[in-house]
């Protein structure tokens, strides 16, 4: 064991540990769960340290030997050689200071093998920085890093939905409002509506991602840039973009960007809106596939696994069910993000660790949920065409097309009679010779029921 000292006192640290006293205290102080700080945050903090070492070296405030040693140590960490040395719990007090110091300590100790001079975790690795600008910047980088994966899965789902919309374009079904029969539609129209809904989600998420790329790096403790050089402030983001491949932008007001978290709230809200739409979509799939004998039974979801330990051959809609649960979790995360963002006080928000933990968790879970939804459900989903067509023909609501010709009152009486006598309205019209057979066939044709016939020009209709 080695003895290390901080402002609180001394502590014995394992000799083989690359982390130090600050990390060990955090491990002891935050026994909340076994979940550690997301490695994406760790790796992006390392990239920030490497960029800072290079810029500080160019500014003449950090010796070249030390800067090169820190950069080499960072390469080792990014190669995954020291993942086990990042021990800080994901949920932590201190606004992320423990995570920042964990990275500082590991880099300083790893860098010893590359430098003849002692490298200090604060004076050298953390030079020109503060947790308050490095930690949120690394968190935003992590969110941006995972965003293309989510958008890729969304694009795959969109492609699948539009293909299904085309495939089902002539498959008629009973439309429903408030769970009661309404005018007919097609499965193609329904799937195109889902496509349009998720298209808006993609737009919202992309917009929120653009705002996340604005960072407060260079602002240090509260956004004033204390303890930085002018050269550092003007070059740090440029260097970080160069080594990371991001297109980060410096906030116009670093003090605002340091203390306020509305950009995280916006990003979380975009994920929540997507989660809400996923719930609506998943519940529609479950409802339309319900039964199949005693339910609606209009959609046929691919069978993925046995659904019961007691009922033979029962198959449940397990994919929409798991997607629902992910969406519930994301909505809960959004509440946490909202509460954490509003709880910040004065020049800093101390609750960014839970914000970033929940956003990264939600982003990753949504990515995997959409993947399984597309792969294990949407790709092989189908329609029970014969059953759905029979439902339309036997539904009294299809007689809505009669109102313009027979009037609301007379149409209602015919519908009520058809329901009472268990006839279709079309059969009743034919039996009572209410209209010519050709007119009846035209009124109950798919094109008329779906309002596909060309309408008269307004000026022509008005002249009658």
CB 138 within 8 A of CB 132: no
Query: Is CATH 3.40.50.2000 the right assignment for the domain spanning 2-127?
Result: no
CB 126 within 8 A of CB 99: no
Q: Any residues with CB less than 8 A from the CB of 363 and at least 6 apart, and which?
A: 143, 146, 147, 150, 271
pLDDT tens, position by position, 406-453: 888 888 888 888 888 888 888 888 888 888 989 888 888 888 888 876
Q: Any residues with CB less than 8 A from the CB of 321 and at least 6 apart, and which?
A: 282, 286
Of the candidates 275, 243, 67, which has an alpha carbon nearest to the alpha carbon of residue 141? Answer: 243
- In CATH terms, 395-462 corresponds, of 1.10.10.10, 3.30.460.80, 1.10.40.30, 1.25.40.10, to 1.10.40.30
Residue 437: C-alpha distances to residues 170, 215, 424, 433, 448 (Å): 24, 71, 15, 8, 15
Q: Are strands 299-300 and 10-13 parallel, antiparallel or unpaired?
A: unpaired
What is the CB-side half-sphere exposure of residue 70 using CA atoms within 13 A? 34
Tokens 């003007």 -> residue: 234
Neighbours of 330 (CB within 10 A): 26
Domain boundaries, the chain: 2-127, 134-385, 395-462
* Percent of the chain whose pLDDT exceeds 90: 78
What average pLDDT is seen over the chain?
93
Reported pTM: 0.91
Res 453: pLDDT:
61
Query: Which residues are tagged catalytic?
Result: 308
Helices of type H across 289-407: 318-342, 352-376, 385-394, 403-406
Q: Any residues with CB less than 8 A from the CB of 69 and at least 6 apart, and which?
A: 111, 112, 114, 115, 119
Query: What is the fold, at CATH topology level, of the domain defined by 134-385?
Result: Fumarase C; Chain A, domain 2 (1.20.200)
pLDDT tens, position by position, 82-116: 999 999 999 999 999 999 999 999 999 999 999 98
């Amino acid at each position: 064991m080695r003895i290390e000292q901080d402002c609180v006192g001394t502590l014995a640290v394992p000799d083989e540990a690359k982390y130090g006293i600050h990390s060990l205290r955090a491990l002891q102080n935050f026994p909340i769960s076994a979940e550690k700080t997301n490695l994406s945050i760790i790796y992006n903090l390392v990239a920030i340290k490497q960029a800072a070492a290079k810029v500080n070296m160019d500014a003449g405030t950090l010796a070249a030997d030390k800067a090169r040693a820190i950069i080499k140590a960072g390469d080792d960490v990014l190669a995954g050689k020291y993942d086990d040395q990042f021990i800080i719990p994901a949920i932590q007090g201190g606004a992320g200071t423990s995570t920042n110091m964990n990275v500082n300590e590991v880099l300083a100790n790893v860098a010893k093998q590359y430098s003849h001079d002692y490298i200090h975790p604060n004076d050298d690795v953390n030079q020109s920085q503060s947790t308050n600008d490095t930690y949120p910047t690394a968190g935003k980088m992590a969110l941006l890093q995972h965003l293309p994966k989510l958008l890729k899965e969304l694009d795959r789902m969109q492609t699948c939905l539009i293909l299904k919309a085309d495939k089902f374009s002539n498959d008629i079904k009973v439309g429903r409002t408030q769970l009661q029969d309404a005018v007919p539609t097609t499965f193609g129209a329904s799937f195109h509506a889902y496509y349009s809904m998720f298209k808006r989600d993609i737009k919202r998420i992309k917009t929120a991602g653009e705002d996340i790329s604005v960072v407060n790096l260079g602002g240090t403790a509260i956004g004033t840039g204390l303890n930085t050089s002018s050269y550092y402030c003007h070059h740090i983001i440029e260097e970080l973009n160069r080594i990371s491949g991001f297109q980060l932008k410096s906030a116009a007001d670093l003090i605002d960007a340091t203390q306020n978290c509305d950009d995280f709230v916006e990003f979380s809200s975009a994920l929540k809106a997507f989660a809400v739409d996923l719930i609506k979509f998943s519940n529609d799939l479950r409802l339309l596939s319900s039964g199949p004998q005693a339910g609606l039974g209009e959609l046929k979801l691919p069978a993925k696994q046995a659904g019961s330990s007691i009922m033979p051959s029962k198959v449940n809609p397990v994919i929409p069910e798991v997607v629902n649960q992910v969406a519930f979790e994301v909505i809960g995360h959004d509440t946490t993000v909202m509460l954490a963002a509003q709880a910040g006080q004065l020049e800093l928000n101390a609750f960014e660790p839970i914000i970033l933990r929940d956003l990264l968790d939600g982003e990753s879970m949504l990515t995997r949920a959409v993947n399984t939804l597309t792969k294990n459900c949407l790709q092989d989903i189908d329609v029970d065409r014969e059953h759905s067509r029979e439902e339309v023909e036997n539904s009294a609501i299809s007689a809505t097309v009669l109102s313009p010709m027979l009037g609301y009152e007379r149409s209602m009486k015919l519908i009520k009679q058809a329901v009472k006598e268990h006839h279709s309205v079309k059969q009743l019209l034919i039996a009572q010779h209410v209209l010519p057979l050709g007119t009846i066939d035209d009124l109950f044709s798919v094109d008329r029921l779906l309002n596909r016939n060309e309408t008269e020009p307004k000026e022509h209709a008005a002249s009658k």
